[in-house]
Structure 1
Amino acid sequence: TQVVLLVTSREALNQQAEWLFHVHGLPFPNEAQHKQIETFSAVQLFRDRARQVRSEFALTPETRPWVTRICQMVDGIPLGIELAATWVRLYSCEQIAERIQQNLDFLATTRKDVPERHRSLRALFEHSRSLLSEEGRAIFRQLAIFYGEFSLAAAEQVTGASPFHLLGMVDQSLLRECAMERYEMHGVLKQYALEQLERFPPEKKRAQDAHCRYYSAFLQRHQGQLTSAEQGAALARIEQEIENIRAAWQWAVDQGIVQALEEALDSLYLYYETRSLFEEGKELFSRAAERLGEAALSAEQRLLLGKLRAREGVFSRPLGLYAASQAALEESLSLLRALEAWSEVAFVLNNLGILAINQGDYGRAQALLQEGYGLYRQSGNRRGLAFCLNNLGFVAIARGEHAEGKQLLRRGLTLFRESGDVQGAASALANLGEVAHSLGKFEEARQLYAESLQIQESMGNRMAMLYSLIGLGNVASALRKSSEARRHFQETLHIAREIQALPRLMDALVGLATVMAQEGDPLQAVELLTLILHHPACDRWAQERAQQLLAHYAADLPADLVATAQARGRTASLDRLLDRLLSKS
């Protein structure tokens, strides 16, 4: 007779005939699923156990988000949910969530018919931890240093864990195996492990230092790939580790670990730039610079400060913070020139050139970009040369020198392609689309913009996508295809609003004003153009274009109606306007 046993346990039996099936916590909703939370088992269990102690308990608009949060905090563990639900007789769901966050011992019961190790989550965790060796307990508490998922390689280098140790913790339900050689410790277990680690301050600091070293070195290893044909894969690997990378960077900032910051800086900058995380990037580098600038600095620290201020300045520009961008870049330039860090000086000059373009000062832009080009040529930095050529080409286009602009852009495109920098190539393609558009070659322009957009979409570079979308909208508008133009401009508004790219948002609004006039509503176009001209993020190009269009439309309308429309535009709320425009998409 064949006997089959179904055994449930927090620990694998470790028998030869054993077939393992890992049972995770009950399914629970995320914040976006708050309207359907009753369909999730974790919520159903909480509701039923809550009604046992308070019969009138119900899932209401007030309780739903907090019940969701509680289920998330205990990772769907049935015992955790049941222990939390018993407190609804004394506390609101919001208060229960706050107390779980503050103290793990809150999740406990005094019921006499519950086994000792099930009377609290702490007792449950203590039982599982007691099954580990002394070495295993040290590794377990040090693993709490990680944020979210972590790899086997990271655990080995940071805590000294072996695959055997991690597998044992998975078998004892102390870790979850998320994917091949990737692990995670869920929230309340991490809270418990951190409490254990706090008892060993030197050990905690060693683990945090090791965590910082690992992830700064990880970023440094990926630096070359981020500017090559492998940049898509490199970005995906960094994305996977970004929670731990942020924590490692903050530790390096707090502890003043210059080497770790130097190792991480370039890759972290490229990641934030490509992912269009400008606000977060600006704050990240600004805080690091402010912390570093609090003390007397060595030459090594001044070099790092110059690099940090440069990146802060670069991220301020797409947010429309032109004065802040100028100040940070100028401070950086002064520091870096004094240190004769010529490659970094060239980087700053290139970005000051872009800022001058935004401000319509094409003479200054050309001088800055040419100086940067000369420094890049001396160091043999082909990617830097390509960027300077791309920006010099844009200056030539802005001055109406289309033949020269096209030649410069083609040279830059060749260098980008030779180095495998697909995003740089996409930027050059978008600028070549601008040349074709300016010359009235609309089909050629459309093809160039579309090719650029396809590349940037595949890389997830939302900021770069905006230039191509605006170009496609302008081409459609020039061809009097107003519905197609509106669609491109509305997509631009949606992305630009999301990433806070206000200058590009202004460009899209200028395009939409043209569409409104084409569709027979020039007064609405006048109102919109007036708003644009009074917004601080409006750069010189958008300003000049808006002034031209406003003068053109106003000339054909009664003066009193124009004055009324302009008065509305001067006091209009940008957010309310965007809500209205995007509701039509």
Structure 2
Amino acid sequence: MGRRREMAEVKRLLSLSRIVTLTGPGGVGKTRLALRVAAEVRRAYPDGVWLVELAELDNPKLLAQELVAALGIQSRSAERPDEVLIEHLAGKRTLVILDNCEHLLQACGMLVRTLLRSVPELHILATSLQPLGIFSEQSYVVPTLSLPANESEQSTATSDAVRLFTERAEAVLPGFTLTDRNREAVERICRRLDGLPLAIELAVVRLRALSVEQLLDRLDDRLRLLSMESSAVTSRHQTLRALLDWSYALCTEKERLLWARISVFTGSLDLEAAEEVCAGDGIDRAEIVKLVIGLVEKSVLIRDEGPGGVRFRLLETIRRYGRERLAVSGERSAIELEYRDYYRRLSRALKARLFGPEQMETLNRMRVEYPNLRTALEYCYAERAGLCIDMASDLLYHWVTSYHLGEGRDWLEQGLADSGVRVEIRARALAACGWLAIMQGDPESATKRLAESRALAEQFGLEQVLGYVAQYSGTVAMHAGDGETAVGFYRDALTHHRATQDPLGEVLALIRLSLAYSSLGDSERAVATAEEGMAICDAHGERWQKAYAMTALGFEVWRQGDPRRAASLARESLRTNRLLGDPLGMGISLEVLAWIAAGEEDYARAAELLGVLGNLWEATGARMPGYEYLAVHHEECVARTRRGLGDEAFRAAVERGTRLSEDDALDQALLERRPSPAAGPPPKAGGDRWAPLTRRETEIARLVARGMSNKEIAASLVIAQRTAEGHVEHILAKLGFTSRTQIAAWVAEHTSP
């Protein structure tokens, strides 16, 4: 859709300055332009291009943490998020896109200034309603789409605005074409909307009910009043506001009410959430489905479908408009209360489903609901600290398995500072905070928090809390090298977990107990304990903790001298953790596979795995967090592999591993055997017939060529549909194509007979 001049200018500015801000009114296409520029300059940033979406972030204090998460840095340290960012980006040439900065202008300016000063190779491309106000910042006002010169002059070429209108109209109204008969009306509509992309897209939806001429007539009527309004507001803002007012007016009374209520959601939502939060006082629960369909048809709500099912979201401009309407209605406080309590209930329900067959769905639900969970926590904290830490404790495994470990600990620490929290809530939160401190490599704080929790739990007979305090204390003892004490703690934890009928706690304790027995050389008990944990998992249809139990068993089997079985167990664990998206679990499995490879004198494979692990642990923020006592085997693997290959060959093999994408690395790790030298290496980007595509993109391009949809590709590769969609978009951008047919033709040309 055009924008060639704009893209060239933004790229030129990026060559002049390390901070470029795209400004302009809402809906002008700042984000889309930034992403297209990023796709074209990607090769200039070998260490990555990262998109950080800030529209859903309302708390400026969490800005640096949001960047940590968006960049995939799973920090386990107690460092401030800005320090983690600087350490991670140091020495790297990276482009970071900060999208929608206007509501966090001061915080963005301060953080960008700090990062640019500390990381010389970092470039930042920001989008905002106004510049960040940083010295050396290059600001570019994104224009509206190009239009025909004037209404009296016959068009000689299709303008960008008309091209967008036509493309969207073809999608909304199959069979629509731009003809000599309707061209003038289309061009007049685009002019009335000032070539504003969002305004054009919203207007085109009306073609479902109106002709182009009828749309033009009604648009003129709606906008006539704007010429008499204050010139203090730009015409483009007035136009967008009028169009939103018009969309609002076209809704039924109940649709307007639902629009306003849905605006309380920070992220996307599903039908259940809409029914729980938005029903009542004028909307029956049974009406929600029909009203949601109405808002989707009017392009107020956007429908997305992924592995977790159908979800809905509002564009940010439309959400903010709805929140204004909600405030005027006087319902805001009541709806925010419903919203908060719904996510409190959901957090408790998700925690209860973490152990069992619904586990994958539960972990994905936690991730997709994260923006809403964060906002609900803010509402909880604003009312009462106890509400906040109760919910934050329920989300413990969300913090552990996501890139938000530090944020989870922050919520708990803030709430625990209030002495008025109920005892049982406080004791549970202290234990959760202790575990997060362990994961961040802060055993001193962990020991203190666990001691406080134990004292309260013993005083008030909180047996479930005592079970987790004992379990976490065992891990602290393992870190200190005291296996005997750790075994005592883990046995104590088992007793409490069995008394409270907590199978998740029981399996967690058994996994840790197995590793503790291994450290003491008690092979028989180590194997029996791990197998007992696996049996409990099988009885409950549980896969995640079984993967960790398999790793523990594989570790002990390897120590006993059976590398073949150990490798099989580690690979099976790796497959499960890959499917669940657990970087810690994947890392531990890869460690065991590297140790096995070194023991079998497959040094090239071991070195490549060490390179892969270097990337993974760097992104995580620590090596084997929670399992640091196993690091001695990592060091032995490094030393043995270096001796086996020699320094130069060792460095080359490790570097090969670091250059692999995560998908490629995991694919190779899961191979039973390495490809034979005669077969040659797998296709790589650059220097072969598949350039510029990565191995994963090549695989997806081939599936596209076979006529598979994004949904079918996702199912075939066991990835999220949105991930598949992202890969296809990257392929189109890299190859300069606009259709899947072009991809299929390109694959045919590049496939050997």
Q: Give the deviation of 1:306 after TM superposition.
A: 2.0
CA contact (8 A) 1:377 1:385 kept: yes
Q: From 316, 335, 342, give the equivalent of 1:187.
A: 316
- How do 1:332-351 and structure 2 match up within 5 A? 332-351=453-472
Q: From 83, 87, 97, give the equivalent of 2:128.
A: 97
Aligned partners of 1:509, 1:323: CA distance in 2, in Å? 25
Q: Give the deviation of 1:248 after TM superposition.
A: 1.6
Q: From 394, 397, 407, give the equivalent of 1:270.
A: 397
3-state SS of the aligned residue for 2:304? strand
Q: Give the deviation of 1:473 after TM superposition.
A: 0.6
Distance 1:203 1:44, change over 3 A: farther
Q: From 342, 364, 367, give the equivalent of 1:236.
A: 364
Equivalent residue number for residue 141 of structure 1: 260
**Alignment RMSD:** 3.8
CA contact (8 A) 1:216 1:261 kept: no
3-state SS of the aligned residue for 1:150? coil
Q: From 276, 288, 293, give the equivalent of 2:417.
A: 293
Equivalent residue number for residue 564 of structure 1: none
1:493 partnered with 2:614: yes
Q: Give the deviation of 1:76 after TM superposition.
A: 7.2
Equivalent residue number for residue 647 of structure 2: 521
Q: Give the deviation of 1:293 after TM superposition.
A: 3.0
Equivalent residue number for residue 277 of structure 2: 158
Q: Give the deviation of 1:353 after TM superposition.
A: 0.4
Q: From 185, 193, 217, give the equivalent of 2:345.
A: 217
TM-score of the aligned structures, taking structure 2 as reference length: 0.54
State the one-letter code of the partner of 1:383.
L
Q: From 309, 331, 342, give the equivalent of 1:203.
A: 331
Q: Give the deviation of 1:228 after TM superposition.
A: 0.4
Q: Give the deviation of 1:369 after TM superposition.
A: 1.4
Aligned partners of 2:132, 2:243: CA distance in 1, in Å? 18
Equivalent residue number for residue 512 of structure 1: 638
Count how many residue pairs are aligned between Structure 1 and Structure 2: 453
Aligned partners of 1:94, 1:426: CA distance in 2, in Å? 41
Aligned partners of 2:10, 2:596: CA distance in 1, in Å? 59
Q: Give the deviation of 1:292 after TM superposition.
A: 4.6
State the one-letter code of the partner of 2:348.
Q
Equivalent residue number for residue 294 of structure 2: 168
Q: Give the deviation of 1:221 after TM superposition.
A: 2.9
Q: What do residues 279-330 of structure 1 show as CA deviations (whole Å, max 9, x unaligned)?
A: x234324324423532433xxx222122222222212223322222222222
Equivalent residue number for residue 129 of structure 1: 248
1:430 partnered with 2:551: yes
Q: Give the deviation of 1:152 after TM superposition.
A: 2.3
Aligned partners of 2:482, 2:402: CA distance in 1, in Å? 25
Instruction: Decide which moves more: 257-266 or 118-127.
Output: 257-266
State the one-letter code of the partner of 1:124.
L
- Give structure 2 stretches of 5+ with no counterpart: 33-123, 134-140, 145-149, 152-190, 193-219, 227-235, 655-753
State the one-letter code of the partner of 1:393.
S
Q: What do residues 390-415 of structure 1 show as CA deviations (whole Å, max 9, x unaligned)?
A: 22221111111212222222222222
Q: Give the deviation of 1:484 after TM superposition.
A: 0.8
Aligned partners of 1:385, 1:68: CA distance in 2, in Å? 53
CA contact (8 A) 1:349 1:369 kept: yes
Equivalent residue number for residue 541 of structure 2: 420
Distance 1:405 1:164, change over 3 A: closer
Aligned partners of 1:382, 1:95: CA distance in 2, in Å? 48
CA contact (8 A) 1:316 1:325 kept: yes
Q: From 247, 253, 260, give the equivalent of 2:375.
A: 247
Q: Give the deviation of 1:497 after TM superposition.
A: 1.3
Aligned partners of 2:410, 2:270: CA distance in 1, in Å? 30
Distance 1:307 1:317, change over 3 A: same
CA contact (8 A) 1:343 1:376 kept: yes
Structure scoring higher RCO (CA < 8 A, sep ≥ 6) equals 2
Aligned partners of 2:443, 2:27: CA distance in 1, in Å? 42
Equivalent residue number for residue 353 of structure 1: 474
Q: Give the deviation of 1:387 after TM superposition.
A: 2.5
Q: What do residues 251-276 of structure 1 show as CA deviations (whole Å, max 9, x unaligned)?
A: 2222227568646743x222333x25
State the one-letter code of the partner of 2:592.
G
Q: Give the deviation of 1:509 after TM superposition.
A: 5.4
Aligned partners of 1:100, 1:190: CA distance in 2, in Å? 23
Q: Give the deviation of 1:209 after TM superposition.
A: 1.1
Distance 1:479 1:69, change over 3 A: farther
Q: What do residues 486-506 of structure 1 show as CA deviations (whole Å, max 9, x unaligned)?
A: 122222221221121334585
CA contact (8 A) 2:412 2:433 kept: no
State the one-letter code of the partner of 2:408.
L
CA contact (8 A) 1:293 1:305 kept: no
Distance 1:427 1:330, change over 3 A: same
3-state SS of the aligned residue for 2:469? helix
Equivalent residue number for residue 60 of structure 1: 13
Aligned partners of 1:101, 1:156: CA distance in 2, in Å? 40
Q: Give the deviation of 1:43 after TM superposition.
A: 4.4
Q: What do residues 363-419 of structure 1 show as CA deviations (whole Å, max 9, x unaligned)?
A: 221221122122223223333233222222211111112122222222222222222
Q: Give the deviation of 1:481 after TM superposition.
A: 1.1
Aligned partners of 1:213, 1:463: CA distance in 2, in Å? 31
TM-score of the aligned structures, taking structure 1 as reference length: 0.68
Greater helix share, 1 or 2?
A: 1
State the one-letter code of the partner of 1:287.
W
Aligned partners of 1:73, 1:315: CA distance in 2, in Å? 41
- Give structure 1 stretches of 5+ with no counterpart: 1-40, 49-55, 79-92, 529-585
Aligned partners of 2:375, 2:340: CA distance in 1, in Å? 8
Q: Give the deviation of 1:121 after TM superposition.
A: 1.6
Distance 1:135 1:436, change over 3 A: closer
